[in-house]
Structure 1
Amino acid sequence: MCGIAGEFRFDNAAPDAEAMARMLAKLARRGPDAEGQHADGPVRLGHRRLAIIDLSPRSAQPMLDAASGTALVFNGTIYNYPELRAELIARGHAFHSDGDTEVILRAYLEWGEACVERLHGMFAFALWNRETLFLARDRLGIKPLYYSENLGCFRFASTPQALLAAGGVDTGIDAVALHHLFTLHAVVPAPRTIFNGVRKLAPGTTMSVNVRGEISHRKYWSLQAQRPVVPKSEAEWTEAIHESLRQAVKKRIEIADVKVGVLLSGGLDSSLLVALLAEQGVPDLMTFSVGFEDQPEERGNEFEYSDPVAEMYGTRHHKYLIPNSEVLRRLPEAVDAM
């Protein structure tokens, strides 16, 4: 994952460089490989990079199109970027990198805000075209995108902690969000968060902010669930689900320029992922399991379930048993990251 942040001023003041530095410091763990900033008039964009696709500096961010002055910060992965890249090249676009970041930039230059409808993946990004700040989030909201509005200023970031570090945020408790937190299995639906002064962009939604501070949202996708015209048998459903899972795994492993691993608990989801990756013939598949010390009332690990899966598929397995003393020592860091 990467971390993105930005500030848009409407009061003729320059964006706060020190506030941006504080935001990026809070995002450092999301992107340990590199840091970048881009300032253009009332806007400053920041990025912390975790390199997954095109590990070279050519895919560094913020990414800028020199001809138009359009700048992009992006967190996520676009699984169909090779196909989109080929289509954009056929339409006359010249690329200077090999990753998915530039595909988003050039897709926006070609199709405008409708570019999001062509992206298949998990993403949160912001584009500045010297007139409008355009933000978007993937269909299911896999990648986070938070924002705050202050008098004369709009900020966004990958985490609420980054926005709080920038300052000027109302940290009072949102009573409606608190109600949701305790009644919806700790889920607070967008656009609310637990803080009055922090909102989050809803999944499958874009946001545009203009130089007057006017904000508009557009829902570009919603699930259309319906039964097939011709009913399927149980065996046909089983094969259809298997094929969908195969294709989902295949898309992800084909584009990564780094090794793939699985956090293996031994439960249904992670065990199925290991099986699907083994089915695809992924070499030297790495799995990781984390456990804690047993307590009188419950087991502290699930190694008895994860070990057989790792053995069955011949993975390069890594087990980490965390002692209670270490858990308590690192607890403040965990709370700070919530």
Structure 2
Amino acid sequence: MKAATPFALLSRTVCAAAAAFVLATPALAADNVKIGLLSTLSGPGAGLGIDIRDGFQLAVKLNGGKLGGLPAEVIVADDQASPDVGRQTADRLVKRDQVDFMTGIVFSNVMLAVGAPTFAAKTFYISANAGPSQLAGEQCNPYFFSASYQNDNQHEAVGKTVADKGFKRVALIAPNYPAGKDALAGFKRYYKGGEIVSESYTPLNLLDYGAELSKLRAAKPDAVYIFLPGGLGINFIKQFVGAGLSKDMTLFGPGFSGDEDVIKAVGNPMLGMFNSSQWAHDLDNAANKKFVAAFEKEYGRLPTL
């Protein structure tokens, strides 16, 4: 079976949903499909949202400007990583712009806020990133589909890896929001045979990790697991290595804390860190090579996960 890139999966999911939408509503005689792409395009987490936007728009371009056989109109908006801004913007997209589908959310707290007006309008949401546990459980909704992952998946993989490598004392750090809590829950679910010596939840906009580094120095773990995406991870890794903690503690993280943007920004301090991901730009298959080449040609940079 050939592997597919996340953006290819998202494109195909939207195409299939668009086709189903047209078939299910013949009376509307739809002549185009309208997508509301609401993502984080400013602030510390913007790198993730920009890649979602650029990857989606590239997929539409490579598909001849169509989804489900219909001309596609993509309306792009910035949620500013704010649940309130996200909810208000989603409300506008589904009511005023009357989009057929929504996508693009990075952060799970924003996703949970955006879900309310989106689902109330019976508009399909197809996730390119956020997969909060609530929407896989008690808040499961027939209008929500994910082309990415469940929030805890990558973290479960790292938890097992840390256990398999024999680390006995582990410290955990994540932002205090739904995906952060899902992340550490996933890690702990598969980390067996050792002790969690500290578990810290930090503000989502924190960039100075001095207090957390002091806690690590006092707790003396042999491994540290972080879920700090985008700019959060860039700052933490630099400060962690700069404080000399990498000499005695091995750093682990999910792909979000060790992707191409983070590696480029951090540089040599990334050496010695381990992470997990469902995708990498150098996966050796034809679909991935085509996607990466097209992305680099279009935007002049490597795509991230």
- Alignment TM class, shorter chain as reference: under 0.3
Q: Which has the higher strand share?
A: 1
TM-score by structure 2 length?
0.27
TM-score by structure 1 length?
0.26
Q: Which has the higher helix share?
A: 2
User: Which has more radius of gyration?
Assistant: 1
